[in-house]
């Protein structure tokens, strides 16, 4: 491994396989944290071939709830079975994050089976929970393997898979903000290999957009591979500046203001187009990628009103300061009402995907 690889971290071990065969082949008791769908579908394919010792429905990420669940699992299994068990996450973000928490708390190995490509939780080592509603990171865990079951992923609603572009597209605005902040000597210093990864991912996303739109195997493979590389690089760098900037801050501020929670990759795709326009940073590029990938990002399809958009942008610098977020272009320049209207008009031309 050369120096450049080392600075970008070691991606999780990923296998492309039939998840039911992998789980049956483990030959140990399984503690499954799952969303349903897809759990019933996958369990049907197992047909009793795996030793499912415990099934935990994943939905509530409050830490008190998760602790009760972990205690319940530990009480239900006898000592010997618990100490041979593997924790398996099956589904989207809540399932994969619940599985991380259980593996970490119970001290057992982890296997992740992400069923949609709209979340990166299968490829990040941070264990995120909610504490009275606020996201808190309490530790890290690496899965033994991440199983990509293409048929399972394809069975998810297409718009959730197309939302997978969000956390890759965010490199477009994230890199701009990072370069600006680091040139002012603020926050994490510029790191050329990390920045080059962000640039390469954007070029590859551009090339893969049509495959993602059609939810082909190659489209799914690209998103999975992108998340692996992003996850490894963020873990190695200890920050995610190359792929998280004002577009994420807009989403957090909007969700805080309205209490709404659009699909993460969809609001990020919207916000990249809007923030790129406000940055004066080639907004047509993310716009065209969103259009070719068929990602739902039109404000009306996400329930984002003109007034909430304008108010969120106007308050963004104050919100970022209050939440101690990284420096971005909103800290560097005032945004006029004319610029906000121009950005709104630009994103209103995104294709409708009701």
Residue 326 in the binding site for Zn ion (CB under 5 A): no
Tell me the window of 150-158, 163-171, 177-185, 283-291 that interacts with Zn ion (CB under 5 A).
163-171
Residue 167 in the binding site for Zn ion (CB under 5 A): yes
- Would you say 105 and 112 are in contact if contact means Cβ atoms under 8 Å apart? no
Separation CA 193–CA 199 (nearest Å): 10
**Measured at the alpha carbon of residue 220, what is the angle toward residues 119 and 215, in degrees to the nearest 5?**
105
Tell me the window of 21-29, 162-170, 197-205, 308-316 that interacts with Zn ion (CB under 5 A).
162-170
* Least Cβ distance, residue 134 to Zn ion (angstroms): 17
* Least Cβ distance, residue 238 to Zn ion (angstroms): 17
- Toward Zn ion, which CB reaches closer, 179 or 255? 255
* Least Cβ distance, residue 179 to Zn ion (angstroms): 19
Residue nearest to Zn ion (CB): 167
Tell me the window of 104-112, 129-137, 159-167, 309-317 that interacts with Zn ion (CB under 5 A).
159-167
* Least Cβ distance, residue 251 to Zn ion (angstroms): 8
Any idea which residue has 């370069």 for tokens? 179
* Least Cβ distance, residue 252 to Zn ion (angstroms): 10
* Least Cβ distance, residue 244 to Zn ion (angstroms): 7
- Toward Zn ion, which CB reaches closer, 149 or 247? 247
**Count residues contacting Zn ion (CB under 5 A)?**
1
* Least Cβ distance, residue 64 to Zn ion (angstroms): 25
Residue 247 in the binding site for Zn ion (CB under 5 A): no
* Least Cβ distance, residue 264 to Zn ion (angstroms): 6
Tell me the window of 4-12, 143-151, 167-175, 278-286 that interacts with Zn ion (CB under 5 A).
167-175
- Toward Zn ion, which CB reaches closer, 191 or 266? 266
Beta bridge partners of 134: 131
- Toward Zn ion, which CB reaches closer, 101 or 252? 252
- Toward Zn ion, which CB reaches closer, 167 or 191? 167
Separation CA 320–CA 168 (nearest Å): 22
- Toward Zn ion, which CB reaches closer, 9 or 164? 164
- Toward Zn ion, which CB reaches closer, 90 or 234? 234
Query: CB under 8 Å to 206, separation ≥6 — which residues?
Result: 285, 289
* Least Cβ distance, residue 240 to Zn ion (angstroms): 8
- Toward Zn ion, which CB reaches closer, 61 or 85? 61
Q: For 80, what's the count of Cα atoms within 13 Å in the CB-facing half-sphere?
A: 0
Q: Within positions 268 to 307, which residues make up the interface with Zn ion, using CB under 5 A?
A: none
Tell me the window of 69-77, 131-139, 164-172, 288-296 that interacts with Zn ion (CB under 5 A).
164-172
- Toward Zn ion, which CB reaches closer, 82 or 129? 129
Which spans of this chain sit near Zn ion (rule: CB under 5 A)? 167
């Amino acid at each position: 491994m050369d120096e450049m690889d080392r600075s970008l971290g070691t991606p999780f071990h990923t296998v492309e396989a039939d998840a039911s065969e992998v789980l049956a082949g483990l030959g140990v008791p399984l503690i499954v944290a799952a969303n349903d769908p897809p759990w019933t579908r996958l369990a049907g394919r197992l047909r009793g071939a795996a030793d499912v010792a415990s099934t935990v429905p994943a939905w509530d990420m409050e830490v008190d709830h998760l602790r009760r669940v972990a205690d319940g699992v530990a009480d239900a299994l006898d000592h010997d079975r618990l100490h041979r068990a593997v924790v398996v996450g099956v589904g989207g973000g809540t399932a994969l994050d619940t599985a991380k928490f259980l593996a970490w708390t119970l001290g057992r190995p982890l296997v992740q089976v992400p069923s949609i490509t709209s979340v990166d939780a299968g490829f990040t080592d941070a264990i995120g929970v909610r504490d009275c509603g606020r996201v808190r990171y309490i530790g890290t865990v690496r899965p033994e393997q991440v199983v990509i079951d293409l048929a399972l992923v394809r069975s998810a609603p297409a718009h959730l898979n197309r939302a997978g572009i969000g956390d890759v597209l965010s490199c477009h605005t994230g890199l701009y903000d990072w370069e600006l902040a680091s040139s002012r000597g603020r926050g994490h210093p510029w790191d050329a290999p990390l920045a080059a990864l962000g640039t390469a991912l954007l070029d590859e996303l551009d090339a893969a957009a049509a495959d993602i739109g059609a939810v082909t195997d190659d489209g799914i493979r690209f998103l999975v591979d992108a998340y692996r590389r992003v996850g490894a690089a963020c873990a190695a760098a200890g920050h995610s500046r190359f792929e998280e900037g004002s577009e994420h801050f807009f989403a957090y501020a909007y969700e805080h203001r309205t209490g709404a929670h659009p699909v993460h990759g969809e609001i990020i795709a919207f916000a990249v187009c809007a923030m790129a326009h406000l940055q004066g940073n080639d907004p047509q590029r993310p716009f065209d990628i969103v259009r070719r990938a068929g990602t739902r990002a039109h404000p009306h399809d996400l329930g984002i009103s003109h007034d909430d958009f304008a108010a969120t942008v106007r308050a963004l610098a104050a919100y970022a300061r209050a939440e101690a977020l990284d420096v971005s272009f909103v800290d560097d320049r005032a945004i006029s009402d004319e610029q906000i209207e121009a950005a709104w008009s630009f994103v209103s031309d995104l294709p409708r995907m009701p």
